[in-house]
Chain A
Amino acid sequence: MSKESNKNISATLATATCALLGGTIAQPVQAQEEPGWDFNTSLLYYGEDENRVQDLSVALLARRTFQDDRWMTLGLTVDGLTGASPNGGLHQNTAQTFTQPSGNNTFTAAAGTLPIDDTFRDTRVAVNANWQQPLGRLYNFSAGASASKEFDYLHLGVNAKISRDFNQKNTTVSAGLAFSSDTIDPEGGAPSPLTSMLNVGDLSNRLGEQDKDVVDIVLGVTQVISRNLIVQANYSFSDSSGYLNDPYKIVAVVDGVTGDVVPHALPPGISGPSHEYIYESRPDSRTKHSFYSQAKYFMGGKVLDASYRYMTDDWEIDSHTVDLRLRWPISDKSYLEPHLRFYTQTEAEFYQVGVVDGSPLPAYASNDYRLGGFDAITLGLKYGWETRNGNDMSVRLELYQQRGDIPADRLIGNQVGLVQYPDLDAVIAQFSYRFGG
């Protein structure tokens, strides 16, 4: 037996004796990461078909590890957004002109095309900071703050989370709380819900700056099942209140018989919308409940990551999400990871393609395609490898597809065969590089 192992046995015996006698002794040093910096960087391209939204995004996540399992994480993301988004207008057999959100100009959608607002261009800068540390032997605590700024939007948020280990650290129970306070300030001011799209230069229906607050609570349990299997279950509650409309989304005013969008009469010499549209209206509060479960299973080198989420809210939207990833090593230092995701949601109770001219206006109405009923599928493949100097690189390519459906009984007259849910095809390409400092 070597001198070294004799020393270890002596130290262990001394520790055990002290523990039995109730004495105090310096805790043996736990295996832990070396203090230092670790950087995770990524370049992302997200592009939708038909010149809709394009996003080029650069992100950096820096983590400083300190002694005793304490971490600090700092994140920065910069997005450059261009392109256009469906504004809620309907396909028509004639060209349609709309007042731009700023109220300063107009844009025209050609006959037979889906109206999209192509004045959309924005830069988003987001930062976040997080601190995590153990509290005693069984508790872990983290606290963080986040902020992001766009041309028309400011987000400020704080969050905190505490967790406790049980059962030899095989069970971890956690609780988290987050609060965010956002400000919406579109050019020209946020429009008053259900008011008409006005002529150029008329901003009389604008409310100016608006606020939105969100409170999130997440309760979770993580359980080690076996040497190869770990599972997690979370319940999340989210309550949003304030101005929850999308200030750029509109709803058509349609003829009750033909279903055509009602024309708008313009005074001579004034430019403005060619048809009658009103700004959308959503309730000023929304409560969501989510149940999320995840399993990670190690199968002789391959790792299966499977998760399922059910969400329901008081806007009558229910959704199911299934996400599957399989990390498949192809050598000691590289792997492939196929990814498959299914998503389906029901429509919000106030989702509608148009409001009928002359009928009383509903309290809430939105033709935002994201509040409609649709299915989505993501298909992706990631390739990751370790570089010669021990850092990690990966590339992934994913295709995202949304297919929606407007029930036939919602369509009036000429809308049948003409008005359709704006399906979406997008590509996600991301390159990541992780290295230690």
Chain B
Amino acid sequence: MKTFIVIGMLLLSAGCSSMGVEPWDRDVLAKEEMQLTTDALEAATDDHIYFSKEASSGGRGFGGGGCGCN
């Protein structure tokens, strides 16, 4: 498992160096709706709900914990 992760990361980093756009081609990526987290409050709400009702949490960032609901 660990070997796969290391190989995956190496392939990813090798591939990444040739990907991307020039700074003047960032008009679309700069749009608010293209940010990875568009609505921080809604994301926090969802993390908290699913933390309370399921056995998994986090992934996107730190877990939605900090309550006695689990």
Over the window 1-41 of chain B, the binary record of Cβ atoms lying under 8 Å from chain A Cβ atoms (1 yes, 0 no) is: 00001000100110011011111011111010111101111
User: What is the CA–CA distance of A108 and B20 in the complex, to the nearest angstrom?
Assistant: 63
User: What is the CA–CA distance of A327 and B36 in the complex, to the nearest angstrom?
Assistant: 13
User: What is the CA–CA distance of A168 and B16 in the complex, to the nearest angstrom?
Assistant: 11
Flag if A343 contacts B20 (CB, 8 Å): no
Contacts of B67 in A (CB 8 A): 124, 126, 148, 150, 153, 155
**Does A340 count as interface, using CB distance less than 8 angstroms?**
no
Flag if A432 contacts B41 (CB, 8 Å): yes
Flag if A228 contacts B56 (CB, 8 Å): no
B17 to chain A, nearest CB (A): 6
Flag if B53 contacts A214 (CB, 8 Å): no
User: What is the CA–CA distance of A240 and B44 in the complex, to the nearest angstrom?
Assistant: 21
Contacts of A343 in B (CB 8 A): 50, 54, 56
Flag if A290 contacts B59 (CB, 8 Å): yes
Flag if B20 contacts A224 (CB, 8 Å): yes
**Does A223 count as interface, using CB distance less than 8 angstroms?**
yes
Q: Indicate which residue in A214, A223, A226, A232 contacts B63 across the interface (CB closer than 8 Å).
A: A214
**Does A296 count as interface, using CB distance less than 8 angstroms?**
yes
Flag if A216 contacts B45 (CB, 8 Å): no
**Does A333 count as interface, using CB distance less than 8 angstroms?**
no
User: What is the CA–CA distance of A155 and B69 in the complex, to the nearest angstrom?
Assistant: 12
Contacts of A121 in B (CB 8 A): none
Flag if B56 contacts A319 (CB, 8 Å): yes
A129 to chain B, nearest CB (A): 14
Contacts of A394 in B (CB 8 A): 39
Flag if A168 contacts B23 (CB, 8 Å): yes
Flag if A223 contacts B19 (CB, 8 Å): yes
Interface residues on B, range: 35 or more
Flag if B36 contacts A294 (CB, 8 Å): yes
Q: Indicate which residue in B21, B28, B38, B60 contacts A234 across the interface (CB closer than 8 Å).
A: B60
User: What is the CA–CA distance of A148 and B65 in the complex, to the nearest angstrom?
Assistant: 10
In residues 306-336 of chain A, which contact B (Cβ within 8 Å)? 307, 309, 311, 313, 315, 317, 319, 321, 327
Flag if A126 contacts B66 (CB, 8 Å): yes
User: What is the CA–CA distance of A327 and B16 in the complex, to the nearest angstrom?
Assistant: 27
> Do A298 and B34 contact each other (CB < 8 Å), given the known contacts A180-B66, A233-B12?
yes
Flag if B70 contacts A246 (CB, 8 Å): yes
Flag if B53 contacts A370 (CB, 8 Å): yes
**Does A176 count as interface, using CB distance less than 8 angstroms?**
yes
Contacts of B26 in A (CB 8 A): 227
Which chain A residue shows the least CB distance to B18? Answer: A167
Contacts of A236 in B (CB 8 A): 58-59, 62-63
**Does A399 count as interface, using CB distance less than 8 angstroms?**
no
**Does A376 count as interface, using CB distance less than 8 angstroms?**
yes
Contacts of A430 in B (CB 8 A): 42, 45
B8 to chain A, nearest CB (A): 9
Flag if A348 contacts B21 (CB, 8 Å): no
**Does A256 count as interface, using CB distance less than 8 angstroms?**
no
Over the window 402-413 of chain A, the binary record of Cβ atoms lying under 8 Å from chain B Cβ atoms (1 yes, 0 no) is: 100000000000
Flag if A345 contacts B56 (CB, 8 Å): yes
Q: List 29 A-B contacts (CB under 8 A).
A: A40-B41, A42-B41, A42-B42, A46-B49, A59-B41, A126-B67, A146-B66, A167-B19, A167-B20, A168-B20, A170-B21, A178-B62, A180-B66, A221-B12, A223-B19, A224-B20, A225-B19, A225-B20, A233-B12, A238-B58, A303-B33, A305-B38, A309-B56, A309-B60, A317-B56, A319-B54, A370-B55, A400-B49, A432-B39
Chain B contacts to A: CB under 8 angstroms: 5, 9, 12-13, 16-17, 19-23, 25-29, 31, 33-36, 38-42, 44-45, 49-50, 53-63, 65-68, 70
